[in-house]
């Protein structure tokens, strides 16, 4: 959304942002996106695919920044109105390899030290372990074709399962 783009620019290129402010700004961006894009699409019966959703805040702000997960849950519950993805696909790759694949100028998050990215990965994997029916962990150190095949299979399984319906979001 237009508001979301402004928030994203501030978060990624605006200099230092306190951890709680970062979490709240991401939640604000998410709230705007849910209101303008996701809820209207779900109301039309569309399937929604999102690049990052609530789980990103659990990984980055709780896992890597160290904010309490209960706080991240509470602000995102408000931001999304309780919307939970039917499936979250985690593209799993060693942080060192992920950094080596980056192109262009790194933003504020990409510029974080390696330990930060290790904590992000660990939290994503812990989330998947805690709730395996809602996550697909896909090894991202393979060919694009193999990765695509695994994402497609996990998505089709999620769409065929009992969690689809008016509240289904795949992130």
Dihedral sign, CA of 98, 99, 100, 104? positive
Cα gap 158→170, rounded to integer Å: 8
Higher-pLDDT residue of 74, 162: 74
pLDDT over 70 for what percent of the chain?
Answer: 94
Residues in the chain: 171
pLDDT tens digits along 80-135: 999 999 999 999 999 999 988 888 888 899 989 999 999 999 999 999 999 999 99
Closest CA to 171 of 68, 72, 74, 88: 88
Q: Is 51 exposed, middle or buried (0-12, 13-18, 19+ CB in 10 A)?
A: exposed
**CA–CA distances in Å: residue 165 to residues 11, 51, 88, 171:** 33, 20, 16, 15
Reported pTM:
0.87
pLDDT tens digits along 14-29: 889 999 999 999 999 9
């Amino acid at each position: 959304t237009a508001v979301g783009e402004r928030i994203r620019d501030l978060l990624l290129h605006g200099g230092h942002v306190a951890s709680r402010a970062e979490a709240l700004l991401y939640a604000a961006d998410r709230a705007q996106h849910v209101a303008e894009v996701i809820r209207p699409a779900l109301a039309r019966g569309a399937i929604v695919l999102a690049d990052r959703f609530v789980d990103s805040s659990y990984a980055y702000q709780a896992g890597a920044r160290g904010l309490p997960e209960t706080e991240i849950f509470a602000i995102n519950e408000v931001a999304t109105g309780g919307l939970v993805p039917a499936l979250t696909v985690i593209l799993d790759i060693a942080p060192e390899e992920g950094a080596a694949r980056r192109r262009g100028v790194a933003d504020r998050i990409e510029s974080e030290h390696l330990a930060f990215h290790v904590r992000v990965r660990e939290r994503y994997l812990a989330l998947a372990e805690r709730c395996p029916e809602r996550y697909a962990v896909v090894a991202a150190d393979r060919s694009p074709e193999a990765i695509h095949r695994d994402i497609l299979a996990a998505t089709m399984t999620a769409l065929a399962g009992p969690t689809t319906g008016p509240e289904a979001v795949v992130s």
